[in-house]
Structure 1
């Protein structure tokens, strides 16, 4: 297993991060225990969760994933120092989480304390803002004029960021969290937090996790270049684009128990004709190189310059083993050329 420095921190994380968002919905405590044990045995030292999980998010399943991880930690206390634990505060819009309110300094403090209780740990290594208070160009909202940047009050947003940052800095000083990160944010968001931390001598943003895959490369090159030079770790989530890059949803297929059989908070926005045409091409490339389509997608993501650790998720041990094995695969020039040709034909399929 290869390890990379987590942004400007002194932490080293495995190039594979074990995602957990299905635990508590599609997966049980027993499933999660097996996945954690196997991942650690393979050298993975990075686990990502969120207070909002399991997904799709509901009031009934809110906090269950953290609780499941906490149960594992409680029975494996000697292992806590052996892995980097990341979690997130939910953003606005979910009425059952703090009334759907914006993230603020007050809610950050409250959310951290509640997550620590569910996780049954004294500290969280990386605490992230799940999405910013302003609407960001993620979850299919990245096309021109889908959202309006000119209607955002930048001064007001910046003051809100400072309030959040001050609470995060206090939590670091208290030892409740070690570092903070962003999620579903932009270069402007990253740089505003950096400016504020420098101006007020507060904790510095360490990482950002955004959606990134063969079907969704909008962060290359501008956001990733920004991350590299600002020493902010880049953590792709959904490297299989919600599972579609595995090929299992081709031709309208909906395997029983799969994610696309469940209602999605943002809808099946990845389910387009261009998506399936691109996936079909990627499947052909994978077959030519004797790997699975999922392994092609993950091996490609791993080799992108600037990627620190790729967040994977699996609903079965077979999927988990297949996904982890992908990080031992090296894609050579001919395979990368074939992939690049598909990317040129389908630069933004959804």
Structure 2
């Protein structure tokens, strides 16, 4: 299980050095970011530590999590991914400023009632409560990159492609969310903020409002799905990010046991 989980990472780090870039003015991150979505479900604590060790030793300093992780979501495992990352830092005695830790606040969800009683909205109170809980789980004083996991308003997500005006619902204002996030930045609990599963409209509204209100933080990153079957980024979002100098944190899943992996492994024995 561990060997299979590590195969793609080992091949990649052998074939290339991990380049770095500036995600924000004083935040340099590796171009490869290790996601922790499986930590605490598919991966045990030991396996998670092994993955983190491999990534860190290879030069990866950028790690992403979320308050709802791991997936599949369960009441008794919620938050373990953040907890595992925090335990790894402490166990390995890694200086906090040597890693860039990103996590996310969950949007409205009537299904995950165990997260803040299944919030109906992502208002200032929910953002503040979620942030405090993440800080406690990781046992850190600050989050480097704090992201809104999905919008408060209705948007096509998770495989949907068409926008349905009939599903429009009233939503928390961009101003209220930016104000709450800005207060956390001012308090030193967040360094930068980002978005996830967002649309060009949402990105531009966050940027527009932040530009008009100097005390609001500016979004520095976007984490959206992008793969052979999901190319939504190419249709509108690419132009938006280009003109706004808006880095994209690609949410890409690499699989070691499909025909697509032959470019990296050269091993046909694993194809069934």
The normalised TM-score by structure 2 is 0.84
Aligned equivalent of 1:141: 160
Compared CA separation, residues 11 and 228, structure 1 to 2 (3 A): farther
> Over residues 118-144 of structure 1, what are the superposed CA-to-partner deviations in whole Å (9 max), with x where a residue is unaligned?
0011111000011111222221111x3
Number of the residue aligned with 2:37 = 21
Shift of 1:25: 0.5
Residues 1-350 of structure 1 mapped to structure 2, 5 A cutoff: 1-6=18-23, 8-93=24-109, 94-101=112-119, 102-142=121-161, 144=162, 147-149=163-165, 152=168, 157=171, 160-201=173-214, 202-240=216-254, 243=255, 246-248=256-258, 283=259, 287=262, 290-292=263-265
| Contact preservation (8 Å) 2:106, 2:149 | yes
Change (3 A) 1:97 1:293: farther
Measure the CA separation in 1 of the matches of 2:227 and 2:25. Answer: 25
Give me the CA root mean square deviation.
2.1
Determine if contact 1:214/1:239 at 8 Å carries over to the other structure. Answer: no
Contact 2:154-2:167 at 8 Å conserved across structures: no
Whether the 8 Å contact between 1:224 and 1:234 is mirrored in structure 2 is no
What does the per-residue CA deviation read over 1:262-290, in whole Å, with 9 as the maximum and x for residues that have no partner?
A: xxxxxxxxxxxxxxxxxxxxx3x764xx5
Larger RCO of the pair (alpha carbons < 8 Å, separation 6+): 1
What is the CA-CA distance between 1:55 and the residue it aligns to? 0.4
Of Structure 1 and Structure 2, which has the larger fraction of its residues in helix?
1
CA distance in structure 1 between the aligned counterparts of 2:122 and 2:166, rounded to whole angstroms: 21
Separation (CA, whole Å) in 2 of partners of 1:286 and 1:37: 23
Matches of 1:99 and 1:73 in 2, distance apart? 30
Cα shift at 1:247: 4.7
Q: Secondary structure, in 3 states, of the residue corresponding to 2:56?
A: helix
Task: In structure 1, list runs of 5 or more residues that go unmatched.
Answer: 249-282, 295-350
1:291 to partner: Cα distance? 2.8
Q: What do the CA deviations read for 1:57-104 (whole angstroms, capped 9, x no partner)?
A: 111111111111111122234432111100001111122212222111
Pick closer, same or farther for the CA change 1:105–1:161 going to 2, 3 Å.
Answer: same
SS at match of 1:219: helix
Q: Which runs of 5+ in 2 are unaligned?
A: 1-17, 268-272
Q: Is the 8 A contact 2:194 2:222 kept in 1?
A: yes
How many residue pairs align between the two structures? 246
